[in-house]
Structure formats: C-alpha cells, structure tokens
A and B are shown apart, each in its own frame.
Chain A
Amino acid sequence: MLTGLVACRGAEEDGKVHVVYWEKWSGAEAAAMQTTVDAFNASQDRIVVEFLSVSGIDRKTILATAGGDPPDVAGVWVQNLASWADLNALTPLDELMRLDGTTPSEFLSRYEPSYADATAYNGHVYALFATPASMALHWNKAAFRAAGLDPERPPATIAELYEYSRRLTRRDPVTGALTQVGFLPQDPGWWPWSFPRYFGGDLLGADGSITYAGVPQNLASMRWVQSYTELYGLDDMKRFASGFGGFGSPQFPFFAGRTTLVFQGVWLNNYLRQYAPNLEYGVAAWPAVNPGEAPFTIVEGDMLIIPRGAKHPREAWEFLKYVSSSNPDATTREELRGIELTCFLQEKNSPLRHWSPFFSEQHPHPFISVFRELARSPRAYHAPAMGVWQEYQREINIAFDQVRLLQSSPEQAMAYAQQRVAASWKEHRAATARQARAFAPAESGSP
C-alpha cells in the first residue's frame, strides 16, 4: 500500500512516456483542454499527457518545483513568468526551439505581436499560450432598457460610464440597500494594475524604474476608482459586495444582474451561457478616457510552462508545440487542431495572426471579432515582465483596496506601494546579480 503511495512516476507499463500536466481549469474549460490533450495523445504513439485540474496552481507549482517534484507542464498565468524565471524555476524554451532548428523570433512570429511579446522575458522564451484573452466592456441590455438607456449604445467615454452607472443604480425601497449598480471597479478586481495603463500611465519607466506613484495618469486612475465608492456610498457598497458569489457561480454579480457594466475577458460568454443563460448582453471596447485614442485592452494568457526539474522536458515540449499549432486551412470542426481547437471549445479568440476559415466564420462567441480587433490595438498591453511583478501586483491590489474602501487617499496609497516595490526591486536586482556573481564561474562549464 505504501509503496503505491510513494511510487515514482515516469515511463509506465505501456512503454510510453507519461507527461504530467497541471492546469488551473475545472469544469467546462477543463473539458475543452482535455479534448486537445486527447487529440495530442491520439496524434502520436510515444507520449501520453495526463491532464489534471489543480486548484491554487501557482502556489502548488512553485512549491512542487522547490520540492524537486514538479509536473512536466503547468498552465499558469502571464504574470508568473518573470518572477519564476528569476528564481530559476522555469526551463527556457528557446533552447528547445533551437534543437528543433528554429529560432525564437521565427517561432513566435505566428502570434499577434501583443501576444508574442508576453511569452518572452530577459531574452528568453519561457511559455507558450494554451489560450489567450483580451478584455472588453460587457453590458446588461435588459438593465439598460429598465433604466431608460439605449440597449444598443454602450458608454463610449469615461464620463458616460459614470453617468450610466448612476442611472443603473437601484436600491431597495424599504432598507435603501443597493440591489443593482452600473460599473463597480472591484468587479471582478483581477487587474487593478490595468487602470493606470487605461488612463495612459505607466508602471515601469524606460530605465526599468518603478513609476507607480510618479505618473499623473496613474493618480487620475485611482481618483476615478474612488469616485465610484463615492457614487454608491462606502458602507452600502461593502454590504452589497459581501453577498457576491465567486466567478463560476450564478451569484457572480454580473450573472446575477447586480453589476451591469463590467470589464471582463473573452471567456465570459462561456460562463454566461452556463450560469445566466437568459442574460442579454453586448460587448464593446472600454470607454475612451481621452477622445479619439486607440481602444484600450489588456492581453492575458493562460500560459504553458515547463518547470525546472521536470522529468520529461523534451516530451513536454512536443506537447507544447502541438498545443500552440493550428491547421490554417480548417473548414470543419473536425479539422481544427491545437490552439484553435482549445480556443474554439473555450470560445476564446486565437492568439495566432492567421485564423482558419472555420475558426473565424463559425466561432461560437457572437462577439469574437471585437476581441480579435482589441488584441491588435496599439494599446493592447500585458502585465510588465519583471522579477518582482507578483509583489508589485500585490501592492497595487492593496493600494486599490485602500483607495476604494476610502482608507487612504490615492496619493498616500500609491506612494506607499511605490516605496515598497522600489525597495524590493532594488534588492531583487542586487540579489540576482549576487547569484550570478557567486555561481557564474561554476556553471559556465556546462552547455
């Protein structure tokens, strides 16, 4: 019994190499990825990929890597890449590309530039896409009608967003408690770092310095966040939000009709059909902050990495290549391959520049072209690739919370975050240099 529990895994009795693949998804998204995995397993007879849904994927993966027992492939997020690369926790993929006789730039040319950019850090490629995403404004048409707004005309400017939110706010006639609001900055609250960029600010200077508190646009974005707390009332908003369910439940505020304007990713349609099939909604670019500017979006990715110390990196790479390939001429569902298959089943856009005829014409997402166009915008940004990004993001999240809960002024909260991240960034760079100095001679001998 015990030997079974501690048994090592690897090449198993079927004579094939078993690649262990951890992924964050469960439910329908996991089922979609499973289909791609099955297709890969059927496409050759040397490698078997074992797909596992793992909760808390980033923490588990880094712990398992540190513990010397990582999976062969892990599906993490774009923002994990740089920190993990600096920790030496990732296998650089460019070496594997060169072994295949191709170069990183050649390989990455398949992606839209905004997406290609997100896979690389410090001159290496560390991840490929499982699925990409870009973010857009989603609005609840029924709520628009009830509020006397034109359901086909979403707010186009940030002033309109505020005005619409005001008109979409509903309260309980007896208790005065909020029952519906327009836009709520904390819903879903996954990318508070994007707001400064939305306002045209920047998180990193050209010289790699932290500019969070130093750019006027960043400050303006936080004032904007604060204005929504003032609109709804702090205590009312807190109680209203405490009844929200998580993503993937009918109580998620947009599904339940509690928030009616939301910045969300391409995946939302998939969830809407499941949890709120009757909700009538539209999709558009984020309202413009400054008139006439290119539409803003953030590009994200569910990224596949090979942790350092993986037992089968070569076989894992074969799988990664399959997952990021496509059949450019597919005209039927059966002909879809690799990333187009996954993205079709998950109803997301493809990160590739070229979409096959079937994928672009028969896509189940009614607004897929909006997301494709957004990803091509010059203002499509991904999270900065830097070694302390996890910490930077954590500080931004906390500053965001403090501002929206009116615990401190935007200036204070941002200055505080700035000072913490800058110190940590300086120290991180020193530590990386120290590691390089201490062990460079010893490791220069190995290829």
Chain B
Amino acid sequence: MKARGVAHRPGAGLRFFVYACLGFGTLLFGFPLLWMLSTSLSPVEQTLSYPPRLLPLAHYASVDGQRLEVTLDAEVRPGHWAVTERSAGSKSADKDRRRAIVPAASVQTQIRPRWENYPLALGALGGTSIDELEGFVAPSTRLGADSEVGFLTFFANTVIVCVLGVIGTVLSNALVAYGFARLKWRGRDAFFALTLATLMIPYPVLMVPLFGVFQGLGWIGTLLPLWVPAFFGSAFNIFLMRQFFRTLPVELSEAARLDGASELRTFWQVILPLSRPVLAVAALFHFLHAWNDFLGPLLYLTRKHTFTLGLALQSYQTTHGGVQWHFLMAASTVTILPVLLLFFFAQKTFIQGVATTGSKG
C-alpha cells in the first residue's frame, strides 16, 4: 500500500468513530451473504418463520414415547407447543405424520445445518421437480438431449463460455492493441478514435440486429454467440492494452528487430511476457462478465442443455413457482462460490485491475 496518499493519523475519538462506521458497514454489506448461507442450510419451515431464524435449527421432542425430530407448529397455550413429526420432504403433504402437544421445556433445540439442501437444490436446478426428488411422483422417463441435463451441464456450459471467452479476449485484444500501440500505419489513429467512440453505444442498440446476425449464422440455441465474439476484440480491452503497451520502451522492439525477429515474434516473445498484469486484468474481467452475464444467455439460449448457471437459476424460480427459498439460496450460493474463490486467489489483480480501469478512463 502506498503511503503517500494516506492522511494524518487520526486521534482516538475519531478512530473509534471510523471503526464504528466500518463495523456498521461490514454488517450491512456482509449480512446479506451470511443470510443467504444461513437460509440455504435451513429447513423449509424455518425459511418462512417469523421472526426470521438466523441459524438453522432442529427441534426434538417425545411423541408417543419416541424421540423425534419435530416442527414447532404453534404455541397452543402458554408453555405448550403443538408439534408435528418432521419428514424429510419439504412439503406439508404426508397425512399420517405424528402430531402431539408437548410442554415447551421438553423440546430440545440444537443448531443443525442441512447440507442435504445442496444436492436437492442442484438436482432441482436440472429441472427434476422437487416432487420427483422427494419421491412424491415417480421420476419421469425423458428422452433426448435435454433429458440428462443438470447442474453439471449448466456448470460446464458456464465454464466453456468463460474459458473460451477469456482465451479469445486475451489473444485478440493483445494482437489488435499491439497493432494500435506499436505499429505505425496510415489511418491508425482515425480507426482507433472510431474504436473508442463505439464505447458510447448502448447494448440495446445492438440487441435486435445481433439477434438477426446470430440467427443468420444458425447460432441461436447454441453457446457460440456467447464466446465467439470475444475472439474479435472489444473496444474497451483494446484501449486498456494499448495504454499498457505504449508504456513499454521502444528499444525493446528495436532490439528484437535487429535480431531479425518478425513483428509477430516480437509481439509474442517480447511484448506479451512483459504484459502479464494487463492480460490478467482483461482475462479476469472477461471471466467475471461472462460468469455473470444474463441477458446474452436469455436471448440466445433456447435449449436447456445449453443453459448457463445464471439462466438455470432464474428459470428455477419460475419452474418451481412456489419459491423454495432454502433451495434457491443454496443454488445461488453455489453460483456465487466460484467468483468468491477467484477473488480470494486473485485479490491483488482484482483490486489493481479495478483501480487501473477506473483511473485510466
């Protein structure tokens, strides 16, 4: 951390105030994520309880002389709870579950995270209905390409789109930026200015004709529209890399040229290895963008076996009309997790990357 911008060391009173503010901020910013995690580990009846339960609990009581896991239905009279035997399923369906009224003191409560929500939620993400997963209806026999899709398919699709997109972004933009930064040719500056001007174009302007372009190419319903364009450069990344390439000394290229290296070789062997920081920034941002993209998949992916995680997550919400909050939060957690992991491994690149993109703009 550079020292020069840091202000004077504050006094104790001010320091307390600063920590109080930051602590409160941490609560506001961090709580939703913790809440998501907590909900994802709760049984269904606790997601809909009021007041909300902050920790996933399990209650045990004696019903007909047997120690059972129960749900607390209502406090029928002071100190007494109506309880129902808890079944594994999330539906209040079974008619023959045992019920009793027990003294509140005899109910044992402990914290129990329900990790089993995760496999169920991911199964439901694949379109197997909760009814099927929990044995309410027999699993249906489906045919065809979409029959075996599930979480892994969506995950794989997302990874394909991200990885190919990252490769395309790094390669194409570095090549193009090199052409703009380190070669002199007629019309270069005009074309670069035009390139920068396209940054202004809002995506909705492109949306309708792009759909037509991909339709003409027969790409609707495939992953192609989501990663192929990355191989053809993007104005922002070209700009970012060009700025970086220009800071590298001209002597490097001249030395390479004297050694008889071709332009492509200079680019590949001299410039690229020195440009790792900017390549990493572009790669990281493209990965994030592709992982989080929703509108693209919404427009171009019509077949379930091509769905990405985000799209699957959203259709989960509509398929299972009655929102199963614990499952939805479990699936959301899984969608966010790779991004969190990436952040913890590449924290420095993230922060520096954001800082450069912002201040160079």
Q: Do chains A and B touch in the complex (CB under 8 A)?
A: yes
Residues of A within 8 A of B (CB): 1, 5-6, 9, 18, 20, 26-28, 30-31, 34, 38, 41, 48-56, 60, 63-64, 66-69, 245-252, 274-278
Complex interface: stretch among B51-59, B125-133, B243-251, B340-348: B125-133
Report the minimum CB–CB distance from B178 to chain A (whole Å). 28
- Closest B residue by C-beta to A273: B93
Q: Say whether A52 contacts B144, CB under 8 Å.
A: yes
Q: Say whether B322 contacts A26, CB under 8 Å.
A: no
Give chain B interface residues in 293-350, CB to chain A under 8 Å: 299-300, 302-304, 306, 315-316, 318-324
* Interchain CB contact (< 8 A) of A69 among B94, B136, B302, B322: B302
CB neighbours (8 Å) of A251 from chain B are 48, 322
CB neighbours (8 Å) of A1 from chain B are 160
Q: Say whether A67 contacts B215, CB under 8 Å.
A: yes
Which secondary structure dominates chain B's binding surface? loop
CB neighbours (8 Å) of A276 from chain B are 92
CB neighbours (8 Å) of A247 from chain B are 321-322
* Per-position 1/0 for B123-154, Cβ under 8 A of A: 00001011110001110111111110000000
Q: Considering the chains assembled together, what is the distance between the CA atoms of A249 and B326 in angstroms?
A: 13
Q: Say whether B93 contacts A274, CB under 8 Å.
A: yes
Q: Say whether B318 contacts A248, CB under 8 Å.
A: no
Additional 11 contacts, C-beta under 8 A, given A34-B141, A68-B218, A250-B91: A6-B223, A18-B144, A27-B132, A31-B140, A53-B129, A55-B318, A60-B302, A67-B214, A250-B92, A251-B322, A252-B322
**B211 within 8 Å of A by Cβ?**
yes
Q: Say whether A9 contacts B145, CB under 8 Å.
A: yes
Q: Say whether A275 contacts B91, CB under 8 Å.
A: yes
8 A-B residue pairings within 8 Å (CB atoms) = A6-B219, A26-B129, A50-B144, A52-B146, A248-B322, A251-B48, A275-B92, A277-B94
Q: Considering the chains assembled together, what is the distance between the CA atoms of A274 and B129 in angstroms?
A: 13
CB neighbours (8 Å) of B142 from chain A are 34, 50-52
Q: Say whether A68 contacts B215, CB under 8 Å.
A: yes
Q: Considering the chains assembled together, what is the distance between the CA atoms of A15 and B219 in angstroms?
A: 26
| Given A66-B211, A68-B220, A53 contacting B322 (CB threshold 8 A) | no
Q: Which 7 A-B pairs have the closest CB atoms?
A: A249-B322, A67-B220, A50-B144, A246-B321, A64-B302, A55-B315, A27-B129
CB neighbours (8 Å) of B160 from chain A are 1, 5
**B224 within 8 Å of A by Cβ?**
yes
Q: Considering the chains assembled together, what is the distance between the CA atoms of A260 and B66 in angstroms?
A: 36
Q: Considering the chains assembled together, what is the distance between the CA atoms of A55 and B319 in angstroms?
A: 5
| Given A30-B140, A51-B143, A69 contacting B319 (CB threshold 8 A) | no
CB neighbours (8 Å) of A277 from chain B are 93-95
CB neighbours (8 Å) of B304 from chain A are 52, 54
Report the minimum CB–CB distance from A57 to chain B (whole Å). 10
Q: Considering the chains assembled together, what is the distance between the CA atoms of A6 and B141 in angstroms?
A: 24
* Interchain CB contact (< 8 A) of B223 among A5, A252, A275: A5
Q: Say whether B302 contacts A63, CB under 8 Å.
A: yes
Q: Considering the chains assembled together, what is the distance between the CA atoms of A60 and B319 in angstroms?
A: 13
Report the minimum CB–CB distance from B121 to chain A (whole Å). 15
Q: Considering the chains assembled together, what is the distance between the CA atoms of A5 and B307 in angstroms?
A: 11
**B222 within 8 Å of A by Cβ?**
yes
Q: Say whether A6 contacts B222, CB under 8 Å.
A: yes
Q: Considering the chains assembled together, what is the distance between the CA atoms of A28 and B128 in angstroms?
A: 11
Report the minimum CB–CB distance from B247 to chain A (whole Å). 37
Q: Say whether B302 contacts A246, CB under 8 Å.
A: no
Q: Considering the chains assembled together, what is the distance between the CA atoms of A9 and B324 in angstroms?
A: 34
Q: Say whether B215 contacts A27, CB under 8 Å.
A: no
**B113 within 8 Å of A by Cβ?**
no
CB neighbours (8 Å) of A248 from chain B are 320-322
Give chain B interface residues in 93-132, CB to chain A under 8 Å: 93-95, 127, 129-132
- Closest A residue by C-beta to B44: A250
Report the minimum CB–CB distance from B222 to chain A (whole Å). 5
- Closest B residue by C-beta to A249: B322
Q: Say whether B211 contacts A67, CB under 8 Å.
A: yes
Q: Considering the chains assembled together, what is the distance between the CA atoms of A26 and B126 in angstroms?
A: 12
**B221 within 8 Å of A by Cβ?**
yes
CB neighbours (8 Å) of A69 from chain B are 218, 220-221, 302-303
Q: Considering the chains assembled together, what is the distance between the CA atoms of A69 and B218 in angstroms?
A: 8
| Given A249-B322, A275-B93, A277-B95, A27 contacting B131 (CB threshold 8 A) | yes
Q: Considering the chains assembled together, what is the distance between the CA atoms of A67 and B216 in angstroms?
A: 8
CB neighbours (8 Å) of A51 from chain B are 142-143
Q: Considering the chains assembled together, what is the distance between the CA atoms of A251 and B323 in angstroms?
A: 9
CB neighbours (8 Å) of A18 from chain B are 143-144
Report the minimum CB–CB distance from B289 to chain A (whole Å). 21
Q: Considering the chains assembled together, what is the distance between the CA atoms of A325 and B216 in angstroms?
A: 38
Q: Say whether B137 contacts A27, CB under 8 Å.
A: yes
- Closest A residue by C-beta to B317: A55
Q: Say whether B221 contacts A67, CB under 8 Å.
A: yes
* Per-position 1/0 for B211-241, Cβ under 8 A of A: 1001100111111100000000000000000
CB neighbours (8 Å) of A41 from chain B are 143
CB neighbours (8 Å) of B141 from chain A are 34, 38
Q: Say whether B129 contacts A30, CB under 8 Å.
A: yes
Q: Say whether A5 contacts B222, CB under 8 Å.
A: yes
Report the minimum CB–CB distance from B154 to chain A (whole Å). 13
- Closest B residue by C-beta to A61: B302
- Closest A residue by C-beta to B94: A277
Q: Considering the chains assembled together, what is the distance between the CA atoms of A11 and B323 in angstroms?
A: 38
CB neighbours (8 Å) of B322 from chain A are 245-252, 275
Q: Considering the chains assembled together, what is the distance between the CA atoms of A55 and B224 in angstroms?
A: 22
Q: Considering the chains assembled together, what is the distance between the CA atoms of A207 and B235 in angstroms?
A: 55
* Interchain CB contact (< 8 A) of A28 among B131, B219, B321, B324: B131
Report the minimum CB–CB distance from B189 to chain A (whole Å). 38
- Closest B residue by C-beta to A64: B302
Q: Considering the chains assembled together, what is the distance between the CA atoms of A28 and B214 in angstroms?
A: 36
* Interchain CB contact (< 8 A) of A31 among B137, B300, B316: B137
* Per-position 1/0 for B56-97, Cβ under 8 A of A: 000000000000000000000000000000000001111100
| Given A64-B221, A69-B302, A26 contacting B143 (CB threshold 8 A) | no
* Per-position 1/0 for B33-47, Cβ under 8 A of A: 000000000000000
Q: Considering the chains assembled together, what is the distance between the CA atoms of A64 and B303 in angstroms?
A: 9
Q: Considering the chains assembled together, what is the distance between the CA atoms of A251 and B95 in angstroms?
A: 17
CB neighbours (8 Å) of A26 from chain B are 127, 129, 319-320
- Closest B residue by C-beta to A38: B141
Report the minimum CB–CB distance from B282 to chain A (whole Å). 23
CB neighbours (8 Å) of A64 from chain B are 220-221, 302
CB neighbours (8 Å) of B143 from chain A are 18, 41, 48-51
CB neighbours (8 Å) of A245 from chain B are 322-323
